[in-house]
Structure 1
Amino acid sequence: MENPKSVLIHKIIFLSAALLSLLPFISPALALLMGLAFAQLMDNPYAVSSEKATHLLLKLSVIGLGFGMNFFSAIKAGKEGILFTIASIFAVLSIGYLIGKLLKIDFKTSSLISAGTAICGGSAIAALSPVLKANEKQISVALGTVFMLNSVALFLFPAIGHWLHLSQSQFGLWCAISIHDTSSVVGAASKYGEQALQIATTVKLARVLWIVPVSFAAACFFKTDKTKIQIPYFIALFILAILANTYLPFIAKVSPYVVSVAKSGLTLTLFLIGSGLSFKTLKSVGISPLVQGLVLWVFISIVSLWTIITWAT
């Protein structure tokens, strides 16, 4: 049994680090790094609460970011990304299935990793898990694989973008297609610039909607009750936020403050995600699922980058 004094110290350190991540000079990448460092040194004393808070904070932060966007710009960004979205989702799901068979990975685990890479990381895994009737081990392995690669992307993508001199539009599109989780997409894009952030957020959320048809297809295949499908309702609120910012002048006046709070919420979200990725968690993933996730991620990153540089402006 843990020493009560030790538990208290862990709680104080965790809460202090969480509050520190809300300060303006702490970037999303640094917040994630802080969380990862904490996870290696000690257990998260609020593990269950952190997981619940992560899902809620991410949704609220994304809705808040909508108040910083213009409806017509968002529509344009969505149109630019739709063909990339459809092609990449089908390609990743198909290749993921073949890699899973080749590496002899459990079908449900392989499917969750493929969906997490193709659509939107942890959100897709959470939505598909009840439909696939996945157990806790299968869900944990898929989440661990996706979050590990997701964390690398947050640091790697902005560096590659600057090295290749990608435009704001190109980088935003690349992030939305190639980075798993919405949180890291927004984190990487916000580091690159405001236009990149707007494009990345809009295209990524259009991508998130694909959870619905993919979940229905999986429900038919596994003969699962379709009421278990989780529809991402927060996207509707994100669209309403964009409309309010575009058409309501009094909303537009306070929008910068709302966006600022939303970005802080996103940074805290990344700290909480990092705090759950201990070495023990990462070790439990195993080599085969990690290879599948890595191959899929490298494939979609390289192909989408080449396509964007060749065709997108």
Structure 2
Amino acid sequence: MDRYWDNLKTYQEIFVTSIGVRILFIGLTLLCLTPLISAPIALALGIIFSLLFGNPFLQQTRRFTPKLLQFSVIGLGAGMNLAVIGHESIHGILYTLIGIILTVLLGIGFGKCLKTEPTISLLLTIGTAICGGSAIAAVAPIIRAKPHEISVALAIVFLLNACALFIFAPLGHYFGLTQIQFGFWSALAIHDTSSVVGASMQYGSQAVEIATTVKLARALWIIPVTLLIGFIWNRKRDSELVGKARFPLFIVGFILAAALVTFIPTLQASG
């Protein structure tokens, strides 16, 4: 009889703990959707939660993660005014093109030398070359990256962004860079736009202006690079669908969202 009650108590504790973990998971998820929590902090909370409690909705998150990433890329397009970006970033196109080509070549080379998992290597390379987490979110569904591969790539990119906020300005002063030089350097070397602005603000107003302009030009490459990767990667991976790479339709959504914001003034005001 005592054994029966002990087992019942154990099952009750497991049930209560499971319910509590699920409620905590949902609460943290909703909190991360608010402006109070930035993307790096949300990622850190997710990692800590997973290590402590695991994922109470593992199957559901595996099923919905690719779609959520695609919707996030469409949302990124809604924050871009193509007219403003095209006007401001025309002079930075060449610099960013050279930077992206060099970064991709170095990323591929280092990935092969270090024998890194190809998917993680590609995500890190594209995230470093273009615009950090946004580029990773755009490329991940196309190459069918697994959740843990996406998490690793995002964690590394966000960690490097956080380091850049603290070390770039002191390094710029140490090497005696002008504001123009620092603006170009930060725009080409730091991944996410928010981190580029944050680092360049510590250096001066001219550095912020240059960095923002060049970074916008760099972000524009997310469209052609994503389409190219989708074509090459799927031709390479799918032996039964050679020559029939799937077109990433969410990129069309990205372009349409950006076009709507650009040509409908009321959407710009409400955004």
1:4 matched to 2:5: no
Q: Structure 1 residues 85 and 238, CA, compared in 2 at 3 Å: closer, same or farther?
A: farther
**Map of 2:245 onto structure 1:** 227
Q: Structure 1 residues 18 and 87, CA, compared in 2 at 3 Å: closer, same or farther?
A: same
Q: Is the 8 A contact 1:29 1:187 kept in 2?
A: no
Q: CA deviation at 1:42?
A: 1.8
What is the aligned counterpart of 1:143 among 147, 150, 155? 150
Q: CA deviation at 1:10?
A: 1.2
1:10-89 to 2 correspondence within 5 Å? 10-47=21-58, 48-49=60-61, 51-52=65-66, 54-66=68-80, 69=81, 71-89=82-100
Q: Structure 1 residues 53 and 37, CA, compared in 2 at 3 Å: closer, same or farther?
A: farther
Q: Structure 1 residues 140 and 225, CA, compared in 2 at 3 Å: closer, same or farther?
A: farther
Q: SS at 1:148's partner residue?
A: helix
**Map of 2:163 onto structure 1:** 156
Structure 2: distance between partners of 1:169 and 1:178: 14
Higher gyration radius (CA): 2
Give the AA of the match of 2:49: F
What is the aligned counterpart of 2:109 among 70, 75, 98? 98
1:277-288 to 2 correspondence within 5 Å? none
With a CA cutoff of 8 Å and minimum separation of 6, indicate the structure with the bigger relative contact order.
Answer: 1
What is the aligned counterpart of 1:243 among 262, 266, 271? 262
- CA shift digits 1:167-211 (9 cap, x unpaired): 6996698457642xxxxx245357567966686456324334212
- CA shift digits 1:134-166 (9 cap, x unpaired): xx7xx5675344222112033223223444479
**Map of 1:280 onto structure 2:** none
Q: Is the 8 A contact 1:175 1:188 kept in 2?
A: no
1:78-227 to 2 correspondence within 5 Å? 78-105=89-116, 110-111=121-122, 113-119=124-130, 120-129=135-144, 139=146, 142-163=149-170, 164=172, 174=186, 178-179=190-191, 185-189=192-196, 200=215, 203-218=218-233, 224-227=242-245
- TM-score if structure 1 supplies the norm length? 0.58
Q: CA deviation at 1:12?
A: 1.3
After alignment, is 36-45 or 223-232 more displaced? 223-232
Where does structure 1 lack aligned partners over 5 or more consecutive residues? 130-135, 180-184, 259-313
Structure 2: distance between partners of 1:168 and 1:52: 39
Give the AA of the match of 1:206: W
Structure 1: distance between partners of 2:33 and 2:48: 17
Q: Is the 8 A contact 2:161 2:190 kept in 1?
A: no
Where does structure 2 lack aligned partners over 5 or more consecutive residues? 1-10, 202-207
Give the AA of the match of 2:246: K
Q: Is the 8 A contact 1:158 1:188 kept in 2?
A: yes
- CA shift digits 1:219-269 (9 cap, x unpaired): 566663433242522331242144135xx3x44442xxx3xxxxxxxxxxx
Say what the alpha-carbon RMSD is for the aligned residues: 4.0
Q: Is the 8 A contact 1:81 1:173 kept in 2?
A: no
1:280-299 to 2 correspondence within 5 Å? none
Q: Is the 8 A contact 1:10 1:42 kept in 2?
A: yes
Structure 1: distance between partners of 2:55 and 2:186: 33
Percent identity (aligned): 17
Structure 1: distance between partners of 2:180 and 2:49: 33
Q: Is the 8 A contact 2:168 2:186 kept in 1?
A: no
Q: Is the 8 A contact 2:123 2:140 kept in 1?
A: yes
Give the AA of the match of 1:123: A
